Structure 1
């Protein structure tokens, strides 16, 4: 679809690059959002990126809406000609799958679920065609995920699985949202994964929990002292399954300031990725593992 521009009141411009999520649409929206930021257009006060779109807030006393639109259209042209390469990070996130806390929570809300007789992992395993839960966990953790946006609640990443479309895990949300979700739950709804940054209501299927805080408004967590939100759009996430002992050790390390998430700076080339998705993902995994 052609890029769609919509004004919101007197102070906002919404830019929609596609009506469906894809890495191509994400790259275009991120490139445009970065281009707007780098252009430092007088009167633009805020840029909010999303999965395949972004929103601009501007001061109409400093710049007219039509002038904002003209500037952004010019940036769109430059973005379409740019190389699809970004400098970003790959991050390893430990996950305790099928943990007791999300299990207790999901059992309290079975009447809101499509299949009350099983668990969220059982349901996701069946509808995605995997033989058992272990196979499903291997698929969930076996390929990297792109962070396409951060928000909805503070610090929450939405993640898009970096595999061929036919291999992407897809699971509908609960029939009715829960009133409770444990903090740091690893969830999934539609084609998007997420990590719940805080405890609260939610409708995504719950697969496990990470011991790694991703949002800390007190900025006392050792790796969040510079900024309270860990994730950025464009980050690449690799999930690492862990057991209860490793989870407990990581929680203790976080509390004592010893935990440091494995992070590597990488250059991601969309065209090279599309030529050989499996091979490219293997190289990315090797980077985070130091190979």
Structure 2
């Protein structure tokens, strides 16, 4: 991977680790941004990580742009030698696939879609050569996903499917963005999944909805009292298909303050994952479900 550096005015440096998203690029970006934070470089005011890149904001009156660049290149050398494992957590996210709310919304915007005669999930199944909606749900929920970035809107996670590339689900965004997307929609664009943390415009394909809030600026929800945003880069997600009765029950539990997401602490090794993808995923599932 050839890292590219570019200045944004006199107080930003943009670092592109790779042109393509990969777990290798993510790990290098994470290692570098962690090193910037731990180095406490004088003048750094913000660190903004993304999927395979990051941006540093700094005060040029404290550290000159060329000196900031030199610091980042020094840290890159250490990142290349860094251990490719992280302590993180795996989280189960319930999903009502083919729910009535995203269905109503997607039908309102069919003229903006590549295939106005089918639903988003039917279209995604067909172009990924999957056996209809059931085959799609099985492929989508069958393996874990890696949270590579949180942002765009507050609390929205970008998720990268943890399978070999030929099995990754890929679906283009809408031809023109929608002006509406239900809150907590499970969406997909390109190779990335996401959960819409708030209601608003969007262009990702819509596959379902989760009853589990992931953003609470008032911090009233039990598991979001410490921090209003649930996800952080490095989290691992396992989708759990649920039916309407299970969805309604989970919503009631959230409103009653009784809902608690299933999650476990794990150590994820990129080297182990590269050696045995399915074996690593099975081990993660074992930790989550106590097998």
TM-score category by the smaller chain? over 0.9
In structure 1, C-alpha distance between the alignment counterparts of 2:22 and 2:198, rounded to whole Å:
27
Answer yes or no: is 1:268 the counterpart of 2:268: yes
Q: Separation in 1 of the partners of 2:33 and 2:258?
A: 35
Q: What CA distance in whole angstroms lies between the structure 2 residues aligned with 1:96 and 1:2?
A: 41
**What displacement does 1:72 show?**
1.0
1:198 aligns to what?
198
Structure 1: give runs of 5+ residues left out of the alignment: none
What's the CA shift for 1:104? Answer: 0.5
Q: How does 1:141-220 map to 2 (within 5 A)?
A: 141-220=141-220
TM-score normalised over the length of structure 1 = 0.99
Mapped to 1, the partners of 2:34 and 2:262 lie a distance apart of 26
Distance 1:279 1:81 in 2: 25
Any idea what SS the aligned residue of 2:123 has?
A: helix
Aligned equivalent of 1:70: 70
Query: What whole-Å deviation, never above 9, does each CA across 1:250-274 have from its counterpart, x for those lacking one?
Result: 0011111101111111111001011
In structure 1, the residue matched to 2:52 is 52
Q: CA deviation at 1:182?
A: 0.1
- Give the C-alpha shift of residue 83 in structure 1: 1.2
What is the alpha-carbon root mean square deviation over aligned residues? 0.7
1:159 and 1:263 map into 2 onto residues whose CA distance is 17
Partner Cα distance (1:188, 1:156) in 2: 12
Which residue number corresponds to residue 120 of structure 1? 120
In 2, Cα distance between the equivalents of 1:239 and 1:53?
26
Whole-angstrom distance in 1 between the partners of 2:125 and 2:230: 29
**2-side partners of 1:77 and 1:262: how far apart?**
38
Q: Which runs of 4+ in 1 moved over 2 A?
A: none
Is residue 43 of structure 2 the alignment partner of residue 43 of structure 1? yes
- Secondary structure of 2:66's partner? helix
Residue equivalent to 1:14: 14
**Partner secondary structure for residue 66 of structure 1:** helix
Q: Is 2:287 aligned against 1:281?
A: no
Q: Residues of 1 paired with 2:36 and 2:290: CA distance?
A: 35
1:67 deviates by 1.1
Residue in 2 that maps onto 1:139: 139
- Aligned partners of 1:280, 1:233: CA distance in 2, in Å? 19
